[in-house]
A and B are shown apart, each in its own frame.
Chain A
Amino acid sequence: MSSINALINPMPSGGNDPSPAESSARVGEEQAAFESTQSENTNKVPQEVILESFERIKTHFPAARIKKIMQSDEDIGKVAQATPVIVGRALEIFMANLVEASVVEAKKAGVRKISASHIRSAVENTEQFDFLVDAVEKYPPAES
């Protein structure tokens, strides 16, 4: 229900003022509200937070580079002009999601600097990131 709401209205609080204190306070509120409904997965970053982060992204990846990376897999043949653009945007949403999940991990550990261990925990605690488990295995697990 709440996710549908988020899709319809990605910016519930109106303006997207970048004031850090306020936005992190909002993140905290939403986190708490979300956790009460989603107790089985306490690490999930709410859709609203991902969307807000995505909206803050003003920098984009060059499509030519995305295309090159895609085609570094020899199975990948021709791609339409819009394809690398869309993949690039999807990547930005993905990054917003991964970074926010890592912020949650760092806060849980009580530190203000994200380390590679927090990335690992974020991957391990988020179902959507299952495909990354092998990639982050080399980093030390976060100490608890």
Chain B
Amino acid sequence: MSEFQGNSNTGEDLSLPKATVQKIIGEILPKDIAISKEAREAITECSIEFIMILSTQSNDVAEKEAKKTIASDHVVKALEELGFHNYLEIINRILDEHKELLKGKEKRNKFQNSGLSEEELLRQQEELFKKSRDRLQSNGSGGSFSEIKNE
């Protein structure tokens, strides 16, 4: 425990945001059931315990595979090892969605890197049109065009 790691134990600063916990509990609870403040705090404590046990187990899985970074697949394996088999269906679905999302982002980035934004492209096109129009007019068949333009 290094000092600048924060001498505050997991309890205080490093808790879950109260408003978020409250909101989520509210979304789960049937409308006709209320919950006490102390019970909410108990749920928060249990949630932190859950994060810690899942982190530790995920870390073990990663270490067994000689990986230094905990990847989402390690979390999935850890859930299985901890006996949360019934969570896997949802988690795998979310993982797939997340991967799809990342793929989409990559594509968009490639497009942005290779070309320019649509607006920028349109502006450049407009500029090219103008240049060629000007060229036509200055070489052009007579002064009438430039006169009109000047008006």
Contact = CB atoms under 8 A, between A and B. Distances in A.
Interface string B10-25: 1000111100100111
B72 A95 contact: no
Given A76-B59, A131-B53, A139-B42, A50 B75 contact: no
Contact of B27 (A58, A116, A120, A135): A58
Interface in B87-129: 87, 89-91, 94-95, 98
Given A113-B35, A114-B34, A56 B28 contact: yes
A1 interface: no
Contact of B24 (A20, A23, A92): A92
Nearest to B24: A59
B50 interface: yes
Interface residues of A, number: 70
A77 interface: yes
Given A83-B58, A98-B46, A112-B33, A89 B69 contact: no
B70 A79 contact: yes
Interface in B18-48: 20, 23-25, 27-36, 38-39, 41-43, 45-48
B30 A24 contact: yes
Contact of B86 (A50, A65, A68): A50
B27 A86 contact: no
A90 B74 CA distance: 13
Interface stretch (B76-84, B133-141, B142-150): B76-84
Interface of B: 1-2, 5-6, 10, 14-17, 20, 23-25, 27-36, 38-39, 41-43, 45-56, 58-59, 68-72, 74-76, 79, 82-84, 86-87, 89-91, 94-95, 98
Given A119-B42, A135-B46, 4 more contacts: A72-B6, A73-B55, A82-B95, A99-B43
